Structure 1
Amino acid sequence: MKGLITTVLALGTALAFPAPRGTSSLSSLALQKVLSDASPILGAYAKSSLSTASWMHHYPDSTKLVHMNLPGVHDAQTWNYSQATQDALKHVTDLDGNTVYPPEIYRCQEKSIIDMLNAGIRVFDVRYAYDPTNSTLVFWHSEALMSETATVEDVLFGFYRWLDEQPSETLMLSFQYEGGTTINAKNDAATQMELFRTLTTPAAKKYFLQTKDQFGTLGEARGKITLLKRFDLDQLPASYGDALPGIHFSPALWTDDGVDIALTYNSAKNLTAYIEDYYQPNSPIGMGAAYNIELKLNATTQHLVKASGMYPDSLFWSFASSNYDVDSPPETPRIMALGNGTQLTPKGGVNQQLVPFLKGMKGKRVGIVMFDFFDTPGDLVQALLDL
């Protein structure tokens, strides 16, 4: 909190007292400090001239968001989680007494969030909880702490700056409380209050679209973030939930490991999202990677076909991400997405097999598609954008 107060004071001082000519403004230096603190999750900030950094400028303002094909990433915060990261954080995670498994169990990406943005990714799945001292909101994947310094609020400033540089674009951020992080972790009133505060600061109110429980047009959303609320504020008075913008996907209504979830997010207008989140194939132990990859691929492609032909004004949201952690050795997110590089997975993983499928869907709406290791193969995201 002290760092945030310092940053806010610096920003306010800089606005009141412009910097002398030839020097960096205090607000610029403060932002650089925030982005530096955020870099273990955000990555090194870099402006891009790639065409994929501004691909939405080709679409008219009248385009409905639910009609668009939007590439997304599952567990975006895990890109930097290596053995070195795990070792560096061991002194913190050892405070909990929880077992933290090898890093390949948790890692779902390998490009930074800045790289994801510049590569055309527009929907981000991120998981938050308090740090082991219960003082700041940080990023986790299950028991694995991603960083002890990069707070949720710091990382949001990276998204804000990127949108300033790419005003034709819009983003969706899916926030989910990550249970099972520490022995003493609780999704209690203090945790929920800190998330509420983070999402209602003056900066958040400027950059988060302030509409509730409905998707509008691209024109309305350009330069803004749509909040996808995969959390409840059930430990706070109802007025807090009413004050928070975005679309509410209550965890109580999101079927765990669901192949075909129908989740109504606006009862008054009967608005329903159709979701595939089949992340752990339901197969006997020992069937092997190729078998589990095929089960997952079939679930995802069937949902994409449904998206292309049914309920054209509804949101479709498909997760191409998965793992199978009951095998020994387990099928990690990387193996499920990319195969294991041997004749045991001759067709590769879900990602490789999705490319020809997507190319065969030319002209169709498939909605949001969330990837693990989105950058492999290199034409995966482009195949979705080319639809």
Structure 2
Amino acid sequence: MTNHAQISLNTPLSSWMSAVDSNRALSQMTIMGTHDSCAIHEIVGIGKCQTLRLTEQLKLGARYLDIRCYVKNGSFEMHHSIIDERQSFDDVMQECLGFLSDNPSETIFMRIKQEQSSASDPEFMSIFNGKYGHYQTSMLFVDTRISPGRLGEARGKITVVSNVKPLPGIRWDDLKIQDDDEQDDHAKKWNLIETLLNDAASYHNNHEDQYYLNSFNAHDPIDLTSSIKDIAQYTKNKFMNYIEQAPVSPCYYGLLPVDFIDLYSEDDMKRILYYNN
């Protein structure tokens, strides 16, 4: 590989974006992140997707967070399905803004969606604009009909990926997505991932108008206890081999959420991010 991004291996993972040109399109990057970012708890061995808390994920180089909001008493609480993750949206924002204060060169892509509760879109937006309205000055709401957004304008901010229809930002429905989650065939899941990796790398050679999201997470719908981590380990091993064999670099793969991001060492994260940004 040739490090075309010219990110020195001495650059801390907490500030790796400092070495990326501010004019870079936000869509034309390789962004590691986490699926169900707050899912650190489990019930009878089921439901855990991460070991690290948000700040630790970010320090490891993750820049995409999957934030799932359960609407309760006019607030957003973090949930994974029925599991209460014992964090509020305020907790999430305080961790993220604390990290960005320490690392102002960075941006955090944040998917915001409603999880498990059944509030209407107007009710969700009323809470977002009311109780949490003061956070919006620290958020970037990209209108991809006009521009994919640039890293320079996103530095020090949370770049919103909207999975709630009235919420502005990068619209979930406009992403090119691979998100086959109920998949017990490890090889089939990897083939789906690899197909979209190839598509993103090819497209981003000449274009910057399309966001890609390629979810590495999956689980056996029958065996929910060990399958999540088993598949995470399998896809991690396949991905590291894939990028080592890539004929050129950098390749821009888009948003790449994974389960158990702590399976990736610091060296793994640098090999992914520093060669492909």
**Structure 1 length as normaliser, TM-score?**
0.62
Alignment-derived partner of residue 82 in structure 2: 143
Structure 2 unaligned spans of 5+: 1-9
SS at the partner of 1:382?
helix
Alignment-derived partner of residue 216 in structure 2: 320
Structure-2 separation of matches of 1:173 and 1:210 = 11
Alignment-derived partner of residue 133 in structure 2: 200
Amino acid at match of 2:239: L
Q: Once the 2 structures are TM-superposed, how far is the Cα of residue 316 of structure 1 from its aligned partner? A: 1.3
Bigger-Rg structure (1/2):
1
Q: Once the 2 structures are TM-superposed, how far is the Cα of residue 63 of structure 1 from its aligned partner? A: 1.1
Structure-2 separation of matches of 1:321 and 1:145 = 20
Structure-2 separation of matches of 1:173 and 1:358 = 25
Alignment-derived partner of residue 275 in structure 1: 177
Q: Once the 2 structures are TM-superposed, how far is the Cα of residue 78 of structure 1 from its aligned partner? A: 1.1
Amino acid at match of 2:230: I
1:167-316 equivalence runs, <5 A: 167-179=104-116, 185-188=117-120, 189-201=122-134, 204-213=135-144, 214-232=147-165, 241=166, 244-249=167-172, 263-264=173-174, 273-281=175-183, 292-310=185-203, 312-313=207-208, 314-316=210-212
Contact residue 54 and residue 96 of structure 2 kept, 8 A: no
Structure-1 separation of matches of 2:268 and 2:220 = 22
Q: Once the 2 structures are TM-superposed, how far is the Cα of residue 331 of structure 1 from its aligned partner? A: 5.0
Cα distance change, pair 197–187 in 1 and its aligned pair in 2 (3 A): same
- What count of residue pairs does the alignment treat as equivalent? 257
Alignment-derived partner of residue 60 in structure 2: 119
Structure-2 separation of matches of 1:352 and 1:167 = 32
Q: Once the 2 structures are TM-superposed, how far is the Cα of residue 215 of structure 1 from its aligned partner? A: 2.4
Structure 1 unaligned spans of 5+: 1-48, 83-100, 180-184, 233-240, 250-262, 265-272, 282-288, 339-348
Q: Once the 2 structures are TM-superposed, how far is the Cα of residue 50 of structure 1 from its aligned partner? A: 7.4
Structure-2 separation of matches of 1:353 and 1:157 = 35
Structure-2 separation of matches of 1:381 and 1:369 = 12
Q: Quick check: which one's strand share is greater?
A: 2
Amino acid at match of 1:143: I
Structure-2 separation of matches of 1:50 and 1:108 = 28
Highest relative contact order (Cα 8 Å, sep 6+), 1 or 2? 2
Large movers: runs of 4+ above 6 Å: none
Structure-2 separation of matches of 1:198 and 1:309 = 42
C-alpha RMSD of the superposition: 2.2
SS at the partner of 1:212?
coil
1:162 pairs with 2:93: no
SS at the partner of 2:136?
helix
**Structure 2 length as normaliser, TM-score?**
0.85
Amino acid at match of 1:231: V
Q: Which moved more, 1:360-369 or 1:293-302?
A: 360-369
Cα distance change, pair 383–199 in 1 and its aligned pair in 2 (3 A): farther
Quick one: percent identity of the two aligned structures?
A: 22
